[in-house]
Structure 1
């Protein structure tokens, strides 16, 4: 998110063009709305995946974040 936020300044100069001034910068506004909608979609997808992974862990099918010996068996993703 931070990286894309940094790129936002560059993208902003490309989508908010001088020739769109008379139209209220509609192409730039549409680009911002599309990015916000994509962000909402990604959050929903990640939330659903976290819930699925938590259900697997509750059933004992998976140990979450088990990349070392000190893994906590009751670890759950929050959403």
Structure 2
């Protein structure tokens, strides 16, 4: 049996301060409510769908997430976006 994910333990640590600052005009990645409300858009962007991949490659960002992080975000969404 797999362990359910949570925003606080699993998702929030994935976002760096640089990510949070860069996305502040669109939504607050440090806010559970904002990430939950925009989860589908964030999921698309971390997969490079609907625009440039998030986070952007250096020097603007730290580069795209590895597949394991993308899968974790997808699992969090499938688990119902628990806090």
TM range (shorter): under 0.3
TM-score, L = length of structure 1: 0.25
Structure (1 or 2) with the greater helix fraction: 1
- Which has the bigger relative contact order, CA under 8 A and spacing at least 6? 2
TM-score (structure 2 length as normaliser): 0.24
